[in-house]
Amino acid sequence: MKTFIKGLSFCGNEPLAGANAAAVDVNDGKIVRIRPLHYDWKYKPEDMNPWKIEVHGKVLDPGKKSLLPPFSIAYKKRVYSPNRIKYPLKRVDWDPDGERNPHNRGKSKFKRISWDEASKIIARELKRVKEKYGPCAVLAMSPIHGETKVLHYPHRTNTRLFYHYMKDYTKIGGGGPDSWPGWFWGAKHVWGMTPNVGMMAPSTNCIKDTAEHSKMVLFWGCDPEATWLAWGGQLPARICY
């Protein structure tokens, strides 16, 4: 049995994903279980110097273990799900060099192909579209959020590829209405400052002041028990409590 420390958040590269660090126990190459990471596994509590919030005669701290959200604890089910797509697939009646049958999208079945064949098809299609319609006919989307544990991290990798190959292309980035506008522009109106100062974790300018001096907090369009699970785990709910 070996234990590996992994970040199991939706955005593993983000600074506010530290609450989702997990201890993953592996035996013979298979995940056995996923546990919260206990910070005192290798460090003494006095060496950590955690933050503290004093309110109503109590001293609160983040605790001695990560506060994993439900989907992180159950990540093993996702890894070994029978519905997981493990290999490149191509529509059986789609021929990149012949008849493409677009009318059968969503109807016809798929067959497994090799990684080499998949990468060659993608490369040929990019080249074909660029030469026939121009580089701006290629759309590079990097919206919403992505998991950094996967190969195609959508926020940077594809745009860097297109920049070096296309030099010019159509790009949609910066997220969608489910995230960035509220996080960035909403912060300016509600908090009176940019998200990098007020809304980004650890949000030291807001959370401590709010927790120590508020008698009631109204969450409008935000549920700390659900909205933040992908990022800070159960930590926001713990702070609210």
Return per-residue pLDDT of the chain as tens, 241 residues. Answer: 999 998 887 654 444 445 678 999 999 999 999 999 998 988 888 888 888 888 888 888 888 898 888 888 999 998 999 998 889 999 999 999 999 999 999 999 999 999 999 999 999 999 999 999 999 998 876 655 555 555 545 556 676 777 787 778 887 655 555 555 666 666 667 666 655 544 454 455 677 788 888 888 888 777 777 777 766 788 778 878 7
C-alpha 108/C-alpha 92 separation (Å) is: 7
**55 lies in the same domain as 113:** no
* 25, 123, 220 from 75: Cα distances, Å: 12, 33, 30
Structural domain contains residue 117:
yes
Number of domains present in the structure of the chain: 3
Structural domain contains residue 2:
yes
**96 lies in the same domain as 78:** no
Structural domain contains residue 197:
no
**20 lies in the same domain as 98:** no
Read off the CATH number of the domain in which 52 is found.
Answer: 2.20.25.340
Backbone angles phi, psi at 166, to 5 degrees: -90, -35
**Hunting for tokens 């109590």 — which residue is that?**
58
Look up the domain containing 156 and give its range.
134-175
pTM to 2 decimal places: 0.67
